[in-house]
Amino acid sequence: MAGAAPAQAARLWAMLDEMAENEPQAYRRLLRQQRAEAERFCAPPEPHLCLRARPADPVGGPLFINICSWKRVAAPKTLTEPTPVSAGPLQVVSGEGDLYSIIDIAYNPEVLQRGEEDPDKMKHLIHLTLKFIEKRCNLTLSYLYTIESFKLKGSLEMMQQRLKGRQLPAPHLSQDTKKELTLDDLLRTLEAEDCSNTPVLLKETSRTQSKMPLIEEISSTEMPAKESTPVYEMITVRDANKKPLQIELRIELPEVSSVSECDLRISKDDIVIEVPEKYKLQLDLPEVVDEETTTAVFNRGKRVLSITVQVAKLDP
């Protein structure tokens, strides 16, 4: 079949010459359509946002999810249809004492644009993405995530290479089939051969349903309704004699955009942080503290609340 492609190309050019001579308007319309399709197909995936997720097994480090915009991925025709998605392989990165994983997920730009216009839709899309990755990679993820200040983890070139790495088999045509090809058939055949690196839109098959999208709408009843416990880290800072000086508490609040959403209460021996309908954390402090010295800083980029309070000076 080595000579199949050149023969098809020659037949295509002959048909195009005939169309240009006999149907010039249809010829120009065809060229415009092919040019638009070529621009859509050749457009590379672009970074949109990066998520930091937490696998249930912390040994392998965090998982960075590069959510990308890619015109090659189809947009759902209606809002009720499943959302097409293209995904690269899960890659483990280890170097300089740092261990983490990366996966690239691509959606049509229209899908991401709707998410930018409506934060609830973006939040829902992120939950769908996490659910999709769990199924595809056989992982268990915490649904507490962080939207990083940067849009892409790793290099742009590697991300594009990973997403473009999936291949579709080129069709093999018999001699009898080639004799019956129309111009449209030839165009589709050559396009399929040129698109060998087109990402596969992932679909899931079910024993009870012949076609079931891998990313599907999740009803609101599946989302956690109660306040969850955020990820936190508490450190006691000590002097050279190991005497406690201050308590430092770092709390990750990925769904909080402003410190005004947080309710902070602190006493000499415990602390409570609450974000209504989102998070609640109540901790016993390891030392008696002077609550009047409490300072709290919220990093909007990292969505992290940092609290510092001095250990109380006890009377001798």
**CA 300, CA 258: separation in Å to the nearest integer?**
7
Quick one: tokens of 223? 């989302």
- At residue 78, the pLDDT reads 77
As a whole number of angstroms, the distance between CA 302 and CA 300 comes to 6
pLDDT in tens, 279-297: 999 998 999 999 888 888 8
Lowest mean pLDDT among 193-197, 212-216, 278-282: 193-197
> Which numeric CATH code is attached to 232-310?
2.60.40.790
Q: Any bridge partners for residue 298, and if so which?
A: 305
What are the structural domain ranges in the chain? 46-166+200-222, 232-310
Q: Find all residues with CB under 8 Å of 73, minimum gap 6, and list them.
A: 84, 85, 86, 106, 107, 108, 199, 201
316 — pLDDT class (breaks 50, 70, 90): low
Range list of β-strands (E), 201-240: 203-204, 212-213, 232-238
Nearest to 37 by CA among 169, 183, 195, 182: 195
Give the three-state DSSP class for 283.
strand
Q: What distance in Å separates the CA atoms of residue 228 and residue 256, rounded to the nearest whole number? A: 13
Q: Which residue has the tokens 């023969």?
A: 7
pLDDT above 80 (res 183): no
DSSP state of 43: P
* Model confidence band, residue 249 (pLDDT cutoffs 50, 70, 90): very high
Decide: residue 29, CB within 10 A, 0-12 exposed, 13-18 middle, 19+ buried: exposed
Backbone angles phi, psi at 274, to 5 degrees: -135, 135
